[in-house]
Amino acid sequence: MSDEIKYKNNPLNGVGLKKVVSDLVEQYGFDILFAYLNINCFKTNASIESSVKFLKKTEWAREKVETFYMYEYKRYPRASSEQFKLPPRDRIVPDHHEAGEPAILSLEDAQRLNEKRAKKAAEFKSSSRNGGKGSYQKRSFGGGSGSSSGGGYNANRGDSKRSHSKPSESKSAYDTVDDDPWAAWKK
């Protein structure tokens, strides 16, 4: 019984991936789909057939496209945080929610959205390096015996490889091997 309700209240029930991609391409075109979703199948040799083939093989991209279809094309209200954790085909849309008109999207809006995402990513990255979310606790690695085998990967690696950092980035306290045991690995 719950499976019947689940499928009845999912707008993607009975809608194939080819139909989803066809509707999105007809409404927005490949340029806007690439600008918003940043999936290469909408840019390089873009066709409905090749996009469907790629999306069938790649779960994360398929879920991204299906989410875009539900919330930008069909304009359903955003899912609750509990429902948003589920893949789009498993989400249940309440009975009183109706599909709306497709959103009007432009390349300029996509550019602004991508700039906003880049800014958020940079803020997250800087807060991670400064002890915010995603920071690590210092731990002791290696045997401490001073032998070359006990030193692990970083023991034989010199600082000569550090020149690969981007010139625009400033060095932080976490860029040294002594403070961050994964610094050499991150490069």
Residue 78 sits in a domain whose CATH number is 1.10.720.30
Count the domains in the chain.
1
Q: How far is CA 174 from CA 29, 98, 182, in A?
A: 44, 50, 10
Would 34 be classed as within a structural domain?
A: yes
Would 11 be classed as within a structural domain?
A: yes
Rounded-to-integer distance, Cα 19 and Cα 28, Å:
14
Q: 115-155, pLDDT tens digit by residue?
A: 999 999 999 888 877 665 544 444 444 444 444 444 444 44
CB under 8 A, 24+ apart: contacts of 58-64: 61/37, 62/17, 63/87, 63/88, 64/37, 64/39
Q: What is the value of pTM for the model shown?
A: 0.62
The residue range of the domain holding 17 is 2-111
Would 129 be classed as within a structural domain?
A: no
Would 174 be classed as within a structural domain?
A: no
